[in-house]
Structure formats: structure tokens, C-alpha cells
Structure 1
Amino acid sequence: MEAFNLTPSDPSTFLLVGIPGLEAAHIWISIPFATCYIVCLLGNLMVLFVVGKEQTLHKPMYLLLCMLALMDIGMSTSVIPKALCIFWFNLKGITVSGCLTQMFFLHTISVMCSGILMTMAFDRYVAICNPLRYATILTNEQIAKLWLMGWIRAVLLILPEPLLLSHHPFCANHMIPHTYCEHIAVVKMSCGDITVNKTYGLVVAIVVIGFDVLLIALSYTLIIRAVLQISSKKALQKTLNTCTAHVCVILMSYSSCLFSSLTHRVGQGMAPHTHIILANVYFTIPPMLNPIVYGVKTKELREALSKHILRRSKQKGSQVAL
């Protein structure tokens, strides 16, 4: 424990403070953090398991859902375990290279999540507006290619951020008032000119979110136009139900991302603890709720899970009978 009681002047280490002003309540704050993380892991692993086991779910829509589940696990795992170490054991030290690595993975996964949500919107557009061509336009191979392209886009956009920061001198005070190494928080630790870093980070956020949200909005505009032409109320309701889960996930993800970004850039007048808690929402709440929303709203996923649970119960029953 004493090895981690590092001084802020250590040039090779940053100190993640946690939630400034609420240090006395860190143990209590850790409870919702730990709960969110456990639910996130269980829910997303369940989605991966069910889709992997059920052959009928090996379709583009569910492959995209598995990709989102993997990103949710990666996102929360990048943040919450370190935050819990701060809350429970006061292990605040993180090397500069470790901090830049965490920052890279956090923002790369965020860009990937945005790309997956955009692809999901395109999937719903094709399924509703061009159902006869769905099997030829979106195949499992096409989804794999889009997955690879998404990773290439995310890495190329985010990699310059830690590379630029790695060449900056950092001030004597290495204390980061946060639970994780967010880009802007680390940039503020630099003693050099940070204009390029701040501008690049803002441009990446605007380009990624702006481009993806624009395509999502376009997809749903075309979907709404197609839906309004459906005369049957039953068919209309069924069509809308296929989009409900995705719309809920989009609203959760982008609203929390917007709050996180704004609190870092224009939240100077906000209380530090409020600032940090809002910034953590993006990495805790959506990854926890996404599998729950899809589990509740997606009939095929619910049926596959029920079928598997029933099958396991029968197997256990037969073993007991023997």
C-alpha cells in the first residue's frame, strides 16, 4: 500500500484523485459503481452467450448487438476497476504511459460504439425500407468488414491524441481531479502549448458524433417516411417495435456522451464532484442498461434466453432423476 503513496512531483506518475470533495464518501460511492459493473458484465456476457449458442440468432442485427456488448464490457472495464481501487484501497497512482494507454482505449472504444450504433441504424433502415434486399445488402461478411473499418477509423482518429501528449512536458502537479484519464483532464496537466491538443480533441468529437448522428438521423427519417405509408396498425406497431430498443440505446449513449464532453469543456463553474460524477455516467450507465433494454425489447433474444434456461432446467432435472 505504501508503494502507491506517491507524491505529485513524481515525473513518471499521475495521481487520480477520485471525486474531489467527496473523499470521505468514496466507500459509499463505490457501491453503485461496483453494482453497475457487475450488472454490465452479467448482462453483456449473457447477450454474447445466448447469441453465440443460438444458431437462429447468427444474423447481422445480433452480431452488431454482440459487438456493442463487447464494447460495453471494454468501456466499463477500462474505467470502473481503477475507480474502485481508488475508492477502496486509495491506490491513486498511475504511470504516465498507463494513463495515456487508458485514455487511448477509452476514446477508441467510444468511437467504435458510435460507429456500431450508426451501423445498427443502417441495419434497421435496410430491414424496413428494403426488406427483400436485406439478405444481400447486409450479410455476416459485410458486418465483419464494417467492424474492421470501424476499428481502423477509431484507431486512426484517436491515436494522435496520446502521441501528441507523449511529447509534452507535464507540470510538477500531477494530480488529476478525476477517476480516469480523460483526454482534456490530461491535457490540462501539460506545461506546454495545448492549443493543438484541445483543438484536435474537439474536432474529433464533432466529426465523429456529428457524422454518425447525421447518418442515424437520415436513416430514421427514411424509416419514419416508410412507416407512415403502412396502413395496417398491427404491421405499423410491429415495425416500430423493431426500432424501439435501438432508439433507447442511442438516446442513452449520445446524451451521456454529450454531458461528459460538455462538463469537461464548459463546466468550469460546476462543482468538481458533480462534474466528475456526470463524466462517469457515460462509462457506467449505458453499458449497464444496453443489454437490459435489448433483452426486454427484443422478442427473439428473450425467447432464445428462455429456451436455454428451460433446456438447462430439463437437463438438471434428468440428472437428478438418474
Structure 2
Amino acid sequence: MASPSNDSTTTVSEFLLICFTNFQSWQHWLSLPLSLLFLLPMGANTTLLITIQLEALLYQPLYYLLSLLSLLDIVLCFTVIPKVLTIFWFDLRLISFPACFFQMFIMNSFLPMESCTFMVMAICHPHLWYVAICHPLRYPSIITNQFVAKASVFIVVKNALLTAPIPSLTSLLHYCGINVIENCICANLCPRPVSRLSCDNFTLNRIYQFVAGWTLLGLDFILIFLSYTFILRAVLRFKAEGVAVKALSTCGSHFILILFFRTILLVLVLINVARRKVPMDILILLNVLHHLIPPALNPIVYGVRTKEIKQGIQKLLQRGR
């Protein structure tokens, strides 16, 4: 490990993660709720995947998208949280360059993949959403397994290709002197981006990341908002008693979850607007929780509340007994 100096001739080959600089003493206590929060999304999403795999009635386009969302959540949690826990438990703060930039790639690409999956699901949910409500007769011919397969490939390839330059450009920078990252994760977002440790000019990195991030997440959110707008117009025309209320209730819970998914954008706004008013440790904690709470809520809001999923989980539990 390089010494914490500003000597531009010293090249570093690994980073040192410092999670909470002002609250090192209570990191062990924080690891307990963090471990429970880690087990919750891992267990819920794994159960959902197994249920969809074993239940033949769930071999439908929507549940394939739910499987993709659960898989993204599992990979994202497993890439980020175990390293945070090893820091809390064993004080293993060192992280190699390849591991750091791989973690950065997963976070930068999988979060937009989830956002894009939300966008596709907002269009093709069979019980409520845009195509089913606004074009019910055309739904079976539009939302097919082939459509879901193409959409899944599009989600993965588009976001992977557009976000890959972020860790790539960051890894090409020359790092010298200080190698301490004041964060629990190897992120290139505020607070404390990795690129700031570089001795090179990283303006290109910041511009590309800003444009790519706001374009990917912003465009998805606009399309989701438009989809829900069309849904709202459609459900208000329902004359059957209770149908509109049920549709709006389900639609509202999904939209709130999507808004919560955007907490990373809220963190960025807080940092830029109130950099001196918000403690850095709070921002780091929000950054970590952003990789835990949405993955824990996704299978509950999108899966367990669905009648077919409930029946599938009941059958799975009966098999286990």
C-alpha cells in the first residue's frame, strides 16, 4: 500500500476503503442490521427465482421479467455488500484495482439495467399496466416470450455498453500518492469518487458519467411516467365498482417503489446542494442502503403481491415440508 502522500512519482496498485471516518467505533454494531438487510433481498429474490423456475404456470412473459429483476438484484447485492461486511467484521479494507473497477462496473451498469427493466415492466404488466389496459385485445400478440427475450437482451447490452466506459476510463487514469477511498464501496459517484484520487485530469470521466447517467436513468423515468399517465387515464374510465381503486392502489405502490429507486439521484443532489450541511457519513450510509432496500422491496411489491406468485410460494413451502 502506498503511503498517503501527494508524491506524483508513487504509483499505487490497490485502494484502501474507509467507510465511516468519524464513526469507526460503531461499525461492528452497524454490521448486524446490515447483515439482516443483506439476507432479506438475497433470500426473497432467490425464493422468487426458484418459485418461477419450479411452477409451470409462471412460465409467462411478466414472470420472466421478474426473474431478470431478481437476478440483477442478487448480483448487485452480492457484489457490493459482502465487501462492506468484511470491512466491518475483519477490518479488511484493501481492495485491488481489478476488484475495485469490476465493482464499479457492476454498480454503474446494473442500476440502469434495473431502471430499464422497470420501464419494460411498466409497459407489459398483464393485469394492470399500459398495454394490458390501453390495448387489451392486442396484449397477447404484443407481449410474448419472444418480446421478453429481445427486451432482456436490449436491457443488458444497451446498459452494459453505455456504462462500460465509466470504469474503463477511470482505470486508465494514473493513480499516485493517496490511495484512500472515503467510502464503503468503490464507486465513481459522489461522495468521494475514485477518479479524484488520480493524478490525471478526469474531466472527460465526469462529463461522460454525468451525461450517461442522466440520459439512461432520466429517459427510463420519463417513459415510466408517461406509461403511468396513460394508465391513469385508462383506469379512470372504468365503470366497474372498485376496479379503478384497485388499479390505482397497485399502480401507486409500484410508482412509489420506482421513486425510491431513484434515491441515488437524491443523494447526488444533496451532495451538490448541501455539501457542507449533510454529514459525509450519512451520505455514505444512504449510498450503501440504496443497494439493499430496493432489492428487498422489489420481490415483495412486484412478486408476493401477485396471486400466482403467492400460490407458487405456498406450493414450494409444501414441497419443503
- Compute the TM-score of the two structures, normalised by the length of structure 2: 0.90
Match in the other structure for 1:38 = 39
Q: Note the residue ranges of structure 1 that are not aligned, 5 or more in a row.
A: 314-322
Match in the other structure for 1:176 = 181
Tell me, in whole angstroms, the C-alpha distance in 2 between the residues paired with 1:240 and 1:88.
44
Q: How many residues align?
A: 308
Verify: 1:78 aligned to 2:83, yes or no. no
Instruction: Considering fraction of residues, name the structure with more helix.
Output: 1
State the 4+ residue runs in structure 1 displaced beyond 4 angstroms. 5-10, 263-267
Tell me, in whole angstroms, the C-alpha distance in 2 between the residues paired with 1:262 and 1:69.
28
Match in the other structure for 2:156 = 151
Query: How many percent of aligned residue pairs carry the same amino acid?
Result: 36
Residues 197-239 of structure 1: CA deviation (Å, up to 9, x unaligned): 1111111111011110110011111111111111112332443
1:93-132 → structure 2 map (5 Å cutoff):
93-123=94-124, 124-132=129-137
Q: Note the residue ranges of structure 2 that are not aligned, 5 or more in a row.
A: 6-10
Match in the other structure for 2:260 = 252
1:1-322 → structure 2 map (5 Å cutoff):
7-8=3-4, 11-123=12-124, 124-184=129-189, 185-240=193-248, 242-254=250-262, 256-263=263-270, 265-266=272-273, 268-269=275-276, 270-313=278-321
Please state how far the C-alpha of 1:312 moved relative to its aligned partner. 4.2
Match in the other structure for 2:8 = none
Tell me, in whole angstroms, the C-alpha distance in 2 between the residues paired with 1:140 and 1:241.
28
- Secondary structure in 2 matching 1:283: coil
Letter of the 2:39 counterpart = I
Kept in 2: contact 1:171–1:190 (CA 8 A): yes
- Secondary structure in 2 matching 1:188: helix
- Compute the TM-score of the two structures, normalised by the length of structure 1: 0.90
Identify the range of structure 1 (189-198 vs 229-238) with the bigger mean alpha-carbon deviation. Answer: 229-238
Letter of the 2:74 counterpart = I
Kept in 2: contact 1:120–1:246 (CA 8 A): no
Residues 229-268 of structure 1: CA deviation (Å, up to 9, x unaligned): 11112332443355355324312212x2223433554553
Kept in 1: contact 2:2–2:12 (CA 8 A): no
Kept in 2: contact 1:263–1:278 (CA 8 A): no
Letter of the 2:172 counterpart = H
Root-mean-square deviation over aligned CA pairs: 1.9
Q: 1:145 to 1:8 in 2, by over 3 A?
A: farther
Letter of the 2:196 counterpart = K
Letter of the 2:291 counterpart = F
